[in-house]
Structures are given as C-alpha cells and as structure tokens.
Amino acid sequence: MIYIKDLMSGLNVFKALSSEIRIEILEVLAKNQSLNMNDLANKLNLSNAAITMHVKKLEESGLIEINTTVGKHGIQKLCYLNEDLLMIDIQKKDVDNLYEVNLQIGHYSNYQASPTCGLATKDSIIGDFDDPRYFADPQRIDSEIIWLTEGFLEYRIPNYLKPNQRFREIQFSMEIGSEAPGICENYPSDIYFYINGIEIGYWTSPGDFGVTRGTFNPDWWPPHLNQYGMLKLIRVNKEGSFIDGCRISDVTIDQINLDYKSELTFRLAVTDKTVNKRGLTIFGKHFGNYSQDLMARVLFDVKES
C-alpha cells in the first residue's frame, strides 16, 4: 500500500497518474507478475524510447519497481507493480490535534517467539537462528527485521494527551509479512492486532516474499531469506477498526476506554486460534521496500471548558 498523508506530498504520484498510457502500464503490470521493457512496449504498441520515459516516471513515483536481471538475451530490466493499493487522506488534519511516534521495531516491551524465528540489525544477525533467547538480548533494540512462526511482539506507545483531551483515532503503519522457512510467495498467515489486550481484528498476509530483493536490504542479507513485506495501515476510531480502509472489526476507540492516564500498548500476534498459522515478519527502515519503522499516530479532540 502507498499511503499519502496529504495532497501536497502526493504530487509525484498524481503527476504519474495524469497519463492514460501510464495508467495502461499499471493495468498491464497488475495482470502480470513482471514484464521486461520490451514485452511491455510490445503489449502497448509503444517504442522503447517512449516506454522508458513513462516507466521512469512511474518508478520515481513509487508505483512500480525495476530490477535488473540476466536473461537469455543479456541484461534485462524487469518491471513490477510495487503495491496494489493507493490510499490518500484528502481531509487535512489539524496538526495541533495529533502526534506521531516512530518506534524502531526492536523496541518491543514484551514478546513470545517460537522457531523459525530470529532478529537482525542492519549489520548482522543477532545471536543464532531459531533461538528465542536472543529476543531478550540487549542488542535487540537495534533490530531492523524480526521474524517468528508463533508468538507476539508488543510495543508500548507513549500517551501524551492532557486532561482536557480525548482520543479520537489511533493509527499504526508498518511493513509486515508471513514467515516461512526460507521464502514462499504463497504462504498465507493470519496476523492479529491488539490494543491494550483488546483484539481489534486480523489481516491475512499472502506470503513470505523473496523472489525479488528488498529495496532497502543491506548487501550482506542472504537472498533465500525474507526480502520484503506489505505496508499496512491500521485505524481504530469511533466507527470501528480498519486496515487499509477495510473494516476488520466493530471495535471502536470508545470501547478500548482510553483517557490521558491510560497506558497504551500495541501487539502483533500469530496464535493457535488462527486458521493460517504461518508466522509474521516485521521490517524496519533498513529492510524491505519501505524506509520506515513502526509508526503510531494519535488523533484527539479537545474538550470544551
């Protein structure tokens, strides 16, 4: 998912979508897992020069990704659809009535982990593969990728509200995916989400992606391990709980019963009750396809005196 927080920040995307030809390119890529530049040009009856110009604009906007590979006829540039969902916040929020916190994914406050599992910083693996003891290692705060087959990661979110303010909406944004031994593109996993121990719903990750290399992965990261996930946006407000705009439960912000004194925790979990228990992987800003950590945003109202 590409999430545009405000209209001005999305100018590159809007410019890229202003061309019918570029929209046709996206439609063709949506029907095909990947295409090289020549195949793409042939399908749209365009010259190589024209397709190169349009593809460059789409790549700059983040809508598609290009990887270079060696094929039968030499070096080829393969085009992929980067994400299949675009979300835009059209209504401009009052910047005085919200705050954002970015948490490194290693800054979890509680955990349980069962193999396959592990952690890594941008420089090296922490400890040994499939040894949950290293989830307590002090170096874990520098983790940039964490994976586990069963268990949870829980994060403590700071509550900065004042006595005259009340919660209106909580948002979480993160790059996540499944966890397979090695990689597996078709490996659905039900990942559950909790706020203060209250289940707000779940999302089924399609797989543990690794056919192409993650954009921000360090050079030393092995090609046979998790490469990237999907960027997901969770919102809990007075209407219910949503992921990428789709309702995942009827749990509202009021039912969580938060005030300015409340502790605030967010948990991602794979449990025994899931139909698809195939783990979870969370990516920090130095891994995967998105240069971000776990983002928490709190929107609030001010009580009238």
Give the range among 65-74, 144-153, 190-199 with minimum mean pLDDT. 65-74
Span 2-81: which CATH code? Answer: 1.10.10.10
pLDDT of amino acid 71 = 65
Residue 77 β-bridge partners: 68
Q: How far apart are CA 133 and CA 117, in angstroms?
A: 10
Closest CA to 296 of 71, 104, 147: 104
Query: 10 Å Cβ neighbour count for 290?
Result: 25
One fold for 2-81 and 93-302: no
- Domain boundaries in the chain? 2-81, 93-302
Model confidence pTM above 0.85: no
Closest CA to 150 of 282, 281, 268, 278: 278
Band of pLDDT at residue 5, cut at 50, 70 and 90: low
Contact 4, 87 (CB under 8 A): yes
For 48-90, write each residue's pLDDT tens digit. Answer: 899 999 999 998 888 888 888 776 667 888 888 877 667 676 6
Q: How far apart are CA 171 and CA 192, in angstroms?
A: 15
* CATH class, range 93-302: mainly beta
Q: What percent of the chain has pLDDT over 70?
A: 93
Q: Cβ neighbours of residue 62 under 8 Å, at least 6 residues apart?
A: 2, 12, 13, 82, 83
